[in-house]
Every structure is written in structure tokens, then in C-alpha cells.
Amino acid sequence: MRLLIRFLTATMFLLMTDGVAAQNENMDESKVNPYTLPDLLSSNGKKISNVKQWERSRKPEILSLYQQHVYGRIPGRPSAMHFITTSIDRNALQGKATRKEVTIHFTAGEQGPSLHLLLWIPNERIKSPVFVGLNFDGNHTTHADSTITVTEKWKTTSKNKAILRGSQSTRWQVDTLIAHGYGLATAWYQDVERDDSTGWQTGIRTTLQESLQITPKEWGALAVWGWANSRIMDYLETDEQVDAKRVILTGHSRLGKAALWGAANDKRFAAIISNNSGEGGAALARRNFGEDVKRINRAFPHWFIGKFKDYSFAVDQLPVDQHMLLATMAPRPLYVASALEDAWADPKGEFLSAWHASSAYALYVKKGLPSSNMPPVNSPAGKWVRYHIRTGKHDVTLFDWQQYIDFADEYVK
């Protein structure tokens, strides 16, 4: 009896201190509640029916709602930013590619905050289209090449002290990209801000707040990583071997969320790929399946601005939903990809979001997804908005890359 009372008191205490414990995430499709999405194509009760109205009023309105309620503002480039090429190998991959390492310095001199870029460019062309994407574990994990620099920053920041060269190489498929005439630019995301709740104190939200004229509270970590993608673009615009009009932004998972917000703010990216970006990325927030707003806010409070916490238990009050973020990419080619075993990211919510976003593409007379029914597994569907759900888990695979290459061949190259 005493044990039972102790158990009940402990449980009640838990429920009182952490209301979230009482409400687990729903993983059952039959328990998805009905929801009403904010109307993508209306503004203050007025219907948006052409590109002019969309570009002049609705799109800026949506971007500003995301700024104020979800991710925060993305500032421009610091005026003292400069690039230093630290290595160059014109004979990489048996002569098929040029491999460069470039440090993007955000302040004058070489001691301040910086981002280390690893770049592969095909040798067969004068100028190549390039895929850009931040990596999770350091540049040296993206390819087995033993000469890729392991940066000092990585050594002092990374929790994973083992140097696992090439451990993430299946996620990058450099050889396949080069063989198809594409370059690849990647950098370690935590170069700009450590991925934890105190990361902002040592990251660029603090070190660059004066030069960027933005306070740390005005943006979250996803916006910071989105910003980093744009600084990579700044460099690519200066590289003679790069076709800067054909740069495709990619991102997996949290870095997919960051890529979406980054691309929404930077028109220079010619196409956007969201790989398993899930909650806070492509997936509809109002569909209660898998990770939800309360859970992401609790687990990753630093990813979003403070205001987003207001919606943890009131998602229906959020003035946006993620189809609106995807729609801001229009008319640029947009690819949304899910994985069958990635229920946490809510594949159906990712698909529906892309489906609803397709109506913004229709304004430009560009076809998006053909139907509100999900396509069969491993069968991409759609034109300017394309979607696939592949077999397997939360990851980036060769299959994914093959579809992205086909998509880029068709709409970017």
C-alpha cells in the first residue's frame, strides 16, 4: 500500500512538473485529429489569384509571420567577411575533380569566427552546378579521402572525439555527383553554432551580433544554420568553376529545416531539397503524428525563437503551417523526400504539405504534385514540386541522391 501511494505521488508530481509527460506523441494514423490549415492563398480575407498579388503581398506576409513566430530573422553578410583557400587538389578522384578547402572568415583577420568549406568540382566542365549542404559530423566524415582537414574547431567543439573519416560518406555520394557533372559544397554545421541550448553564447549569434546588427534572441539556431548556407553561396559566387546560377540547396533532418528557412530567405538558391526534414521542416505542424510542436520545443528549445513556445499546446493558433513555408520556394524547383521507417518525421505530413504548396506553383503555371494521394514507395511523383517516400530509415541514401540528380538534370541543369 505504502509503495502504491509513493508511486501515485511520484506520478502526480511528474505530471504536474512536466505536463508533456501526460501527452505522448501520436504514432497512430487513425488517431490523427481533423485540422484546418491556414489558407495559403488568401490575405486579410482577400483571395490571392495571381503571381503579382502573391509576390507583392502574400509571400512577404508569410515570410514575416515565420520571422516573428517560428525561426526569427536571417541577417545579411558581415562586411569584413573574406575567403581564404587553404588547400587545392586539381587531381582529386583520379583526376575527375578539383577538391578545395576554403575558410570563410566572418571578421577581418584570421582569428575570428569562421566556417570551413569542403568543395568538390568536376574537372570536365568550365562551370558546374553545385549541390550545397551542411554536414552533421565534420567535413572529414563526408568522404574517406585521408587528406581532408580535421579542423581545430571540430577538435575543440565536437563531443565525438574519434576521427571517423568517411563515416558519413554514404550520405554524400561525391563520386556519383561528379560523374553526373555536379559539384558538392559542404561544411560542418556546428562551426557557426554548437547544437545545444547554450550554443548561442559562443556561436555567431553572440560573436557577430554587432556586425550583423541582430540580438541573439531575434533568431534561433535553425536560422543560424540557414544563414551559414547563404555565406557558402557568397563564396560560390566568387569561384570561377562554379555556376552560381545553378546552386541547389539540400539538407537532411534538422539541417533540412534550416535549409528550408535559409532558401526562403535567399533567392539565389536555384532549387531546394528537403530530405526527411520532419517537424519544423516540411511536415505539417497541425497533423498530430510523430514529433509535434510541444515535443520539438521541449527537446530543442534553441532551434526556434522564444515566441514559438507559445504554440506548444496551441498549434491551431500558429498563424502559419509548413505548406506555407514550402510555397515561398515557388517557382523554384522543390523536392521533398520522406522515408518509410521515418514515422517520427511524419511522411504523410511532409507529403501533404508539398501537395498544398503546389497551389502556389500553379500561380506561376508550373505543375507541382499531381494528386493528394501519396505515390507508391520508391516512385517519385510531381514536376516542379516533387516527392518520394523510399524504403528504409531516417537517412540520406544513394537512392535519394539519384532522384535529386534526375530532378536537377530536368529542372536546373
Please identify every residue annotated as catalytic.
253, 394
- Our CB check for ligand GTR shows the closer of 253 and 397 to be 253
Dihedral of alpha carbons 382, 342, 390, 248, sign: positive
160 residue type, one letter? N
Smaller CB distance to ligand GTR: residue 243 or 350?
Answer: 350
What minimum distance in Å lies between the beta carbon of 39 and ligand GTR?
Answer: 27
Rounded-to-integer distance, Cα 184 and Cα 171, Å? 12
Judge contact between 115 and 141, C-beta under 8 A: no
* Cα separation values, 142 from 135, 168, 364, 393, Å: 8, 5, 37, 19
Strands 128-135 and 242-252: parallel
Shortest spacing between CB 396 and ligand GTR, in angstroms = 11
Taking the complex as a whole, the smallest distance from the CB of residue 343 to ligand GTR amounts, in Å, to 12
CB of 195 to ligand GTR, least distance (A): 9
Q: Which helix (H) or strand (E) segment is 14 a member of?
A: helix 2-17
SS (H, E, C) 99-135: EEEEEEECCCCCCCCEEEEEEEEECCCCCEEEEEEEE
Which amino acid is present at 284? L
Of the pair 285, 381, the CB lying nearest ligand GTR is at: 285
- Total residue count of the chain as it appears in this document: 413
Do residues 398 and 170 touch, judged by C-beta distance below 8 A?
A: yes
DSSP state of 66: H
Angstrom distance (rounded) from CA 303 to CA 317: 20
CB of 401 to ligand GTR, least distance (A): 18
Binding site for ligand GTR (CB under 6 A): 253-254, 278-279, 291, 296
Tell me how far apart the terminal alpha carbons of the chain are, to the nearest angstrom.
Answer: 72
Whole-angstrom distance, CA of residue 100 vs CA of residue 85: 7
**Minimum separation from the CB atom of position 158 to ligand GTR (A):** 16
Closest to ligand GTR by CB, 296 vs 327, is: 296
| Grid cell at residue 82 | 573574406
How buried is 27 (Cβ within 10 angstroms: 0-12 exposed, 13-18 middle, 19+ buried)?
A: exposed
Other CB atoms within 10 Å distance of the CB of residue 180: 17
Which residues fall within 8 angstroms of residue 386, CB to CB, at 6 or more apart? 333, 334, 335, 336, 369, 380, 403, 407
- Cα 224 to chain centroid distance, Å, stands at 11
Is residue 408 left, alpha or beta, with left meaning phi > 0 and alpha meaning psi from -120 to 50?
A: alpha
Cell of 47: 483571395
β strands within 92-223, DSSP E: 97-105, 114-122, 128-135, 183-188
Residue 254 CB, shortest distance to ligand GTR, in Å, is: 3
